[in-house]
Amino acid sequence: MLLVERHGSVAVVTMNRPEAMNALSKALRLALHDAMVRLDQDPDVSVVVLTGAGDRAFTAGLDLKELGGDPTALGAANDQDARSNPVRAIERCRKPVIGAINGVAITGGFEVALACDVLLASENARFADTHARVGIMPGWGLSQKLSRLIGPYRAKELSLTGNFLDARTAADWGLVNRVTSASELLPAALRMAEAMSSIPVDTLAFYKSLIDDGYALALGEGLSLENSRSSDRNRAVTPEAVEQQRHHVMERGRGQ
């Protein structure tokens, strides 16, 4: 139900329950946690791409059939244990996670998408927050993250109607980085991942945490955080090392 493929220093993780719209069963959530832990600890992996099998769904969120058979299972929507909360599992990965949104990302699936660091969407992708429609509230961060990404007015429109948002509009609103054809989605995600993986993995992890931790603060506190962390790190960098890398940057720029 979860596939992990290696492309050099890039790992592609695929939620593989297409017959169930890649719904997040308890077993799939645990498998995703275990995979993210392994990839986070693997020194040969620099970047992770997360996607869903098929072209219908990235993931439709919690497995409603499974929930229907267990009156206590709705507690999973608020569970903060990374073994059952896929958002926590993804967020704990120190390496960049690129979400390749191949189909619908609904409710809990929308929350999983928002846990990724970068989002690429195929033309088949659509996003929907149907929490209010089914009578439950989000517990994996959507109510707070979405408004910070697209503004409170647009977030309220989506969450208080339960309407679907198409990929092109999601890009216009700044929710996804770019939109591709279905056939180009994974190649585009791999190209972006390969560009990231050309940077040392410890630098990627440091910069990712600098952005994420600062974003959770007020601007003034974030600027202080940047100054403190970057000052400590930059003291260990020599001018010779910067000059050497500058030449690589210039060469790469001429080729783009």
For residue 73, what is the domain's CATH number? 3.90.226.10
Judgement on whether residues 54 and 95 belong to the same structural domain of the protein: yes
pTM of the model: 0.92
Structure tokens at 116: 């990724």
Tell me how far CA of residue 131 lies from CA of 24, 107, 240, in angstroms: 15, 6, 54
Residue 216, phi then psi, degrees to nearest 5: -80, -5
Judgement on whether residues 145 and 234 belong to the same structural domain of the protein: no
Q: Is residue 205 part of a domain?
A: no
Judgement on whether residues 138 and 66 belong to the same structural domain of the protein: yes
Nearest to 86 by CA among 41, 24, 43, 44: 24
Q: Is residue 204 part of a domain?
A: no
Q: Residue 71's pLDDT is what?
A: 53
**From CA 199, how far away is CA 89, in angstroms rounded?**
24
Q: Residue 255's pLDDT is what?
A: 63
Structure tokens at 111: 């929350």
Structure tokens at 121: 């969407």
- For 71-86, b/e burial (b = at least 16 CB within 10 A) is eeeeebbeeeebebbb
Judgement on whether residues 164 and 47 belong to the same structural domain of the protein: yes
Judgement on whether residues 143 and 225 belong to the same structural domain of the protein: no
Q: Residue 66's pLDDT is what?
A: 73
Q: Residue 83's pLDDT is what?
A: 92
What one-character DSSP code corresponds to residue 37? H
pLDDT means per 10 residues in the chain (256 residues)?
97 97 95 98 97 96 75 66 94 97 97 98 97 91 96 97 98 98 98 96 96 95 96 84 67 63
Domain that holds residue 236: 217-254
Q: Is residue 211 part of a domain?
A: no
Q: Residue 251's pLDDT is what?
A: 64
Domain count of the fold of the chain: 2
Q: Is residue 208 part of a domain?
A: no
Judgement on whether residues 233 and 107 belong to the same structural domain of the protein: no
Q: Is residue 203 part of a domain?
A: no
Query: Which helix H or strand E contains 50, and what residues bound it?
Result: strand 47-52
Nearest to 120 by CA among 105, 101, 103, 146: 101
Q: Residue 237's pLDDT is what?
A: 82
Judgement on whether residues 29 and 128 belong to the same structural domain of the protein: yes
Judgement on whether residues 233 and 123 belong to the same structural domain of the protein: no
